[in-house]
Amino acid sequence: MKYNFLLLLSAVLLCIGCEDKTGTLELKFLGSYDGAPLILGEMVEYDDYQLQFFESDFYISEISLTEGSSITEVKDIDFVDFTNTNFSLEGAENGFSLVYNNIETGNYDGLRFGIGVPPVENMTKPSDYNSDHVLSKPGYYWQAWDSYIFAKLAGKYKDEAGTFDDGFLFHTGTDDLFRTREGNFNISINEESTTIIEIIIDHEKLLKLQNGDFYDIQNNSTNHDPTDPVPLQMLVNNYSDAISFQQ
Amino acid sequence: MKQLSFLILLAFALIACESCDPDPISGISLTHIEYSPTSFDLEKPANFPELEIPSDNPLTVEKIELGRHLFYDPILSADSTMSCASCHLPELAFTDNLAFSEGIDGIAGNRSSMSIVNVGFYYTGLFWDGRSQTLEDQAILPVEDPIELHNNWPELMEKLRSSELYQRLFREAFGIDNTLEMTKELAAKAISSFERVIISGDAKIDRFTLNIGVLTDEELEGFEMFFDINPDLPDAECGHCHSYPLMTTNEFRNNGISEADDLADFPDKGYGTLTGNPLDNGKFRSPSLRNIQLSGPYMHDGRFETLREVIEHYNSGGKSSPNKDPLIYPLGLTEEQKDNLEAFLHTMLDTSYLDKDYITNPFD
């Protein structure tokens, strides 16, 4: 009897001792253009003409914290969307946040995520999900590719007549164009506090060729054929280059 | 003798009235009516997503039955002339054939009636501008809307409480013990249940997609342009906003029907009124194209009479406005390609669901 009691007591103590300590990780996405906050619908200079962005959003997946070779998964998939934040300067400065609770406390040496939908999930369709799941968005599935649309970037450019009548639109997708981005820096998650990592996405860099030249948006404005190396390959590779981290 | 029979008749009438006209303070008991709800066996089309049903309003045969009666019953309008079905006619894919629907006072609103077919699958906000979140919330609105049924709920509920038919239907649907428990919230739950089972998913395009049917060459070419499948044909871009299986993404977009110099200039600000984001002005919900050939005139303001006019609009690249969607640009379709696109739109027709006994008008 006494023995049983001791066993119970030690079990209880053990449980208290081993209760995981957790904190919160906030990923704050800041859309920018040439160093300034990106404001949708406002004019920006591109090459020798002007652009207006109206849409910028993408899937982010396999979000994880790394420590050496060990990986702590934070979230399988989520969605970053500047539509409802970046229509004013204030909104653009505050950015779009994804907040994750219950992250194991400790020191990590990196943050890693994919831009797009990983191949396994990309075999599914929006109708496989309930409406509260980010993969349920019918507007982000492209039947002709059998793939989710990983990212959408759209806006208008000033044409020769000097008006913003014509649009540009780049959709990325398909398994080959799934890319991963990793940032290596110290991240510490502390109990009952929030660690904020700012992830800056430079939209000018997104639309430039690898050699830094401007891309001819006016003449290639709506191409979304995934096998076309330009602009989609350019764009998906740019997503990793255009992203920088700040803590 | 005559007098006596008159008196007897009067007495009967009084007794009869008493039993159906409940005392507003104590109501009348309904416990003598059997309550044994049966869950509804939903036939969801194979390609469709799950139908999401609120946990506090599970589908039952009895609720759908009550909802069906309320939906078709002119008792809902102040002067008993109009029901929901007056603007949502089953044979017109639950729309009407007016640019602007008219209410009981003959006053027209500024929006065209929407199809409620498959509406149970829409979760991004109802109405053209997304201003109502759930069917339960939505169903409360038309009854008191001055340009619709122009009634008021307390009076309507009084009428329903004194109707033997509705006493029975409410009891069977919700197991309430007394007429006093008949509320507008329960009415809305029943109407929503009815709306959720108005499902259409057996069109030619569905049978084609499930590999149990074929399209003609013309329809197939239309299909390939609609979904940008064939690099040898022009991309019509339609599928980006009207995607399979619901034939809509339910996203809010500006498809270029209104000219506006700046974002404040739209005659109807649509989604922008709801979000307060000026970039959303002039955006409306992309509607489903299922049964589209039945639901003209088209667009939120019914501006196009025919599908051909709609196709001409998209082919032209639309009118200019600051936030016109980049997918709306001149498509360069030939007359034959327009015919084929139109032929494809006709493959979304399905009227088989209209014969279901839980959908037809119970008063016919």
Cβ pair B123:A131 closer than 8 A: yes
Residues of chain B neighbouring A228 (CB-CB closer than 8 A)? none
Q: What is the pLDDT of residues B295-338, one digit of tens each?
A: 999 999 999 999 999 999 999 999 999 999 999 999 999 999 99
What is the SS3 string spanning A177-189?
A: HCEEEEECCCEEE
To which residue do tokens 């030939």 refer?
B334
Nearest residue in B to A158, CA atom: B322
Token pair in block for residue A53? 């962005």
Give B51→chain A minimum CA distance, Å: 9
| Whole-angstrom distance, CA of residue B311 vs CA of residue B344 | 12
How many contiguous H segments (helices) and E segments (strands) does chain A have? 4, 15
Is A167 close to B275, i.e. CB distance below 8 A? no
> Using CA atoms, how far apart are residues B261 and B321, in angstroms rounded to an integer?
6
ipTM (interface pTM): 0.89
Chain A residues whose beta carbon lies within 8 Å of the beta carbon of residue B126: none
Please give the residue of chain A at the shortest CA–CA distance from B231.
A225
Whether the pLDDT of residue B15 is over 50: the answer is: no
B236-241: which pairs have CB atoms within 8 A and are 24 or more residues apart? B236/B314, B236/B331, B236/B333, B236/B341, B237/B314, B237/B327, B237/B328, B237/B331, B238/B289, B238/B314, B238/B341, B239/A142, B239/A143, B239/A144, B240/A139, B240/A142, B240/B327, B241/A139, B241/B286, B241/B325, B241/B327
Q: What is the tens place of the pLDDT at every residue in A7-66?
A: 555 555 554 555 679 999 999 999 999 999 999 999 999 998 999 999 999 999 999 999
Q: Could A136 and B49 be called an inter-chain contact, meaning their C-beta atoms sit closer than 8 Å?
A: yes
> According to the model, what pLDDT value does residue A229 have?
61
Flag if B243 and A139 touch (Cβ within 8 Å).
yes
Of A231-240, B112-121, B355-364, which gets the smallest average pLDDT? A231-240
Chains A and B form CB pairs within 8 A to the count of: 78
Residue of B nearest to A43 (CA): B322
Q: Chain B: residue nearest A146 by CA?
A: B229
Residues in chain A: 247
Question: Across the interface, do B326 and A54 touch by the CB < 8 Å criterion?
Answer: yes
Band of pLDDT at residue A105, cut at 50, 70 and 90: very high
Bond prior to B37 in cis (omega within 30° of 0): no
Contact status, residue A169 vs residue B228, Cβ threshold 8 Å: no
Question: Using CB atoms, which residue from B47, B48, B243 is nearest to A141?
Answer: B243
Q: How confident is residue B18, by pLDDT bands cut at 50, 70 and 90?
A: very low
Q: What is the DSSP annotation of B95-137? A: B-S-SS-B-TTS-B-SS-----TTGGG--S-BSTT--B--HHH
Q: What is the mean pLDDT of residues B143-147?
A: 93
Domain map (residue ranges) of chain A: 21-246
Residues of B contacting chain A (CB within 8 angstroms): 47-50, 52, 123, 227-229, 231, 239-241, 243-246, 248-251, 263, 275, 277-279, 320, 322-329
A225–chain B nearest CA distance, Å: 9
C-alpha angle A173-B128-B208 in degrees, rounded to nearest 5: 50
The residues on A that touch B, with CB distances below 8 Å, are: 40-41, 52, 54, 83-84, 87, 126-131, 136-139, 141-144, 154-156, 163-169, 221-222, 224-225
- Report the predicted TM-score, pTM, of the whole model to 2 decimal places: 0.93
**β-bridge partners, A171:** A152
Tens of pLDDT along A170-221? 989 999 999 999 999 999 999 999 999 999 999 999 998 888 888 888 888 8
Contact A87 B277 (CB under 8 A): yes
Q: Within 13 Å and on the Cβ side, how many CA atoms surround B49?
A: 30
| Residue of B47, B50, B237, B328 to mutate when probing chain A, most A C-beta within 10 A | B50
In the block, tokens 């640009």 appear at B329
Q: List chain B residues with CB under 8 Å of A155.
A: 326
Look at A165 and B320 and tell me if their CB atoms are within 8 Å. yes
Tokens at residue B303, please? 């501006």
Contact between residue B118 and residue B288 where contact means Cβ atoms under 8 Å apart: yes
pLDDT digits (tens, 9 = 90+) for B74-102: 999 999 999 999 999 999 999 999 999 88
Q: How confident is the model at residue A222 (pLDDT cuts 50, 70, 90)?
A: confident
